[in-house]
Amino acid sequence: MAMQNDIINIVPESDDYEVGFADLGDLIKDRYPYRYAVVVGKRLDDVVVDAISEGPTPDYYALYRSTNDELNLITEKVERFLGQNGFGCARIESTMRPGEANDAFMKTLRAGFSHKMAATRAGLGWIGKTDLLVSKRFGPRVRLATVLTDYPFEKPGLPVRESLCGSCDLCVEVCPAKAASGRLWNDTLDRDVFFDAFKCFETCRRLSLERLNLKASVCGICVSVCPRGKRKG
């Protein structure tokens, strides 16, 4: 546990962060040389998220970007620590940078690596009805970044294998793209069975252009309405 504790200590000491450790096994297949993962999550600010009603706000877009940048800096430190201790590792940034979405990605809207699925294997949460991670602590109000490594963690998290959203359909009802079927996720279910990523992507692009005057793909409406992770009072 010493190595895990050292990694946890790299992350800022704040209730706004969470750290999970996972054995990704079959999720990695032959795409990456390392099967173990450190997943770092940072909570999104409630004031900003609660202000979202009809689409992304400038504050939400700025928060989205700055949180991604913070996570990338933290995982750089984790990657450096693991490397200095003689372990192989590779950092996966929180999100694609502008211009990185190539033709292969646009055909499927599937990134080469899923932070969300890594987080489920680390026991941090499950996939919600609009294909976002629903963190046990933060709900969908969270951004993620990951470091892969060959260090076999002594105490990885207990994987979450199925959704705990139950009959709640708030995100399904407010989705402007009508992209979610309402079906509950489990870790054997392909994304396309319960969620239309293309409808979501196109609507996010339209809303980003209309409301932010940006060629981006953010929305936040489903994040805002989810009761999971909302701070009381």
Q: Which residues make beta-bridge pairs with 18?
A: 41
Sheet strand arrangement including 17-23: 17-23, 36-43, 142-149, 89-92
C-alpha triplet 177, 179, 181: angle, nearest 5°: 140
Neighbour count for residue 2 (Cβ, 10 Å): 7
Q: Which of 7, 11, 31 is nearest to 21 (CA)?
A: 7
In 3D space, the residue among 154, 105, 225 whose CA is nearest the CA of residue 6 turns out to be 154
Q: Which pLDDT belongs to residue 180?
A: 98
Per-residue pLDDT of the chain (233 residues; tens, 9 = 90+): 799 999 999 999 999 999 999 999 888 777 788 999 999 999 999 999 999 999 999 999 999 999 999 999 999 999 999 999 999 999 999 986 555 566 777 889 988 899 999 999 999 999 999 999 999 999 999 999 999 999 999 999 999 999 999 999 999 999 999 999 999 999 999 999 999 999 999 999 999 999 999 999 999 999 999 999 988 75
pLDDT at 105: 79
- CA-closest candidate to residue 71, choices 102, 93, 49: 93
pLDDT reported for residue 95: 80
3-state SS record for 28-96: CCCCCCCCEEEEEEEECCHHHHHCCCCCCCHHHHHHHHHHHHHHHHHHHHHHHHHHHCCCCEEEECCCC
Task: Collect all residues with Cβ–Cβ distance below 8 Å to 178 and sequence separation of at least 6.
Answer: 199
Closest C-alpha among 192, 181, 188 to residue 161: 188
Contact between 36 and 149 under an 8 Å Cβ cutoff? The reply is yes
**Whole-angstrom distance, CA of residue 43 vs CA of residue 22:** 20
19 CA to centre of own chain:
13
pLDDT value, residue 100: 58
How many secondary structure helices (H) and strands (E) does the chain include?
9, 6
CA distance 99 to 94: 15
